[in-house]
Structure 1
Amino acid sequence: MSSTIEAAAVWLAAADPDPAHAQRWIGASRIILLPLGKRWSAVKVNGHDGLAAAAAVSGPSIHDPAGQCVFFLVPPRTIWDVAGTECLGEDCWLTVPTPRVTEPPGPHWLFPPDGSGRLVNADDLRAQLNARRTPAESIPPDEADFVALLDHTGSCPACNTRQRCGVGENLRATVREDRLTERATAGNTISARILAAAEEADS
């Protein structure tokens, strides 16, 4: 086990009332159920908004494909006010992947913890989500997923060198879904450019 993964395992286990028990589960399973509100809380964001935000903020985030949502680990007692999302804290529990689980099936890390205690900055996450709800006039709302993919691939070293990137793969899957919409097939310049980039990256 690498030092980073080991440090992340210790950090996750510390959220449990019985860290030793939690570490045994982490060593033997893909997932563990952990309480929220002690070391961190979790902001739940549904659908494409969660994936787009994960590509734009730093810190630990979990993708749950079955629930079609992303959980962002934020500081405990975070004051949260973004409509359509939920901040889970005390008296809540979360199914958390073990540090090695960075791909499906099941819940997996988009960005795993590094053991340092770094969390997602709630203000940065709020800004990203609010920006998607009030996009610039030059970018129609239903093209936000295309723009998110363009922004991510333009700044992601893994995507630029065609290495595996969970966030990039999820955003490209979202773009492929959007191809079925009328706007995605209408020859829009932004859409066509990003679709071409997504197809090239998958080839």
Structure 2
Amino acid sequence: MRCIPLSSFVLFLVAGAALAAPPPIAPARVAAEQLQVVSPANTDIGGSAAQRFAQVFHLPVEGYLSHVMVPANCGAARLLRVEIELVTGDVPNGVVVATQEVPGTALNAYGQPVPGMRMVEFAQPALLPPGHYAFTLTVPAGRRTEYCMLWLAPSGDTYRSGKAYFIARGNPPHWIELFDAAGSRDLAFQVFVRPL
């Protein structure tokens, strides 16, 4: 009976493990963004009007939507929910493909004159093909009197591949294009994807 030297056996095991190892995770990269923020213009997410916001964006490549960045600030006792939704006719349609709730303690640092972009990383990122999607910002039901602050982008169509929307008590109960006296307005944001 022929014996295999121990060193050859160990080398075989190491080579086999290398072949069986999963491929390295691709680094996340910016898939969509609108970085302009107006200082000190801000508004409430949640609050007495139960205000919600959405931004439609274009995803150019297939991949895992890993995280979004938004200029939001919350008190330590508050909670922000970020969801990724499918869209119909370039409007969020309520079909949620990823959800992440972020405690206010992760969003309560405050820079001057605005808090800066805050990262919301999805614990279970959605694998999405190229196309149009939306992220929404809300305070969960049951906490509507609480609010987070959202810093606003300039007036105008600063992101050409999608529009921003809002829903607030006292208005029709559907998404309305975000506007001010000067016209439409997009959100400030970044969306990151890990391509396949």
- Is this a same-fold pair by TM over 0.5? no
**Higher strand proportion, which one?**
2
Higher relative contact order (CA 8 A, sep 6+): 2
Which protein shows a greater Rg? 2
- Tell me the TM-score normalised to structure 1 length: 0.27
